[in-house]
Amino acid sequence: MSKSDFPGWHGTTIIGVRKGNEVVVAGDGQVSLGQTVIKGSARKVRRLSPGGYDVVCGFAGSTADAFTLLERLESKLEATPGQLQRASVELAKDWRTDKYLQKLEAMLIVTDGAELYVITGAGDVLEPEYGIAAIGSGGNYALAAARGLSETDLSAEEIARKAMAIAADICVYTNGNLTVERIGK
């Protein structure tokens, strides 16, 4: 099968929501190949504890690539304990300049409960507006839903869960099998 014939891996919606002192990262479990669901229970949200500081990460894209990036982020966090922004910037710089890392196809949402970032292979470390970040196939649907729900009395976790449910209803590459990790409160 030539590269142009390959239907492509799809699937994953990851959302990070900050409200008050609570930050939640939620991700669905779907991995699709073309129009076929390959797995519905993948775990794409992880908790890291380098140097005793909790960090929650969610990833979209190639799993092997994302695990490579998570290992790099963890080593950056061990070198700069409690400094998520610095570790994220260092990871993004390496990702952009290292010939091996440049080929990695994934995106990350990371938080330590105080800061929330999207990290990309283009060298971006983005702090989202309104305390909401979303990536992946259904990311825009989840982002729009969460932004609409953010003015309500719902908690960060409730907003994330409802936004993911809305994304799962709209995006064929997103399901309702959630992994949710919370920091704060």
Q: Which residues are catalytic?
A: 12
H/E element, 27 = strand 22-27
Q: At a CB cut-off of 8 Å and minimum separation 6, what does 9 contact? A: 31, 32, 33, 38, 62
What residue type is 150 in one-letter code? S
Contact 35, 171 (CB under 8 A): no
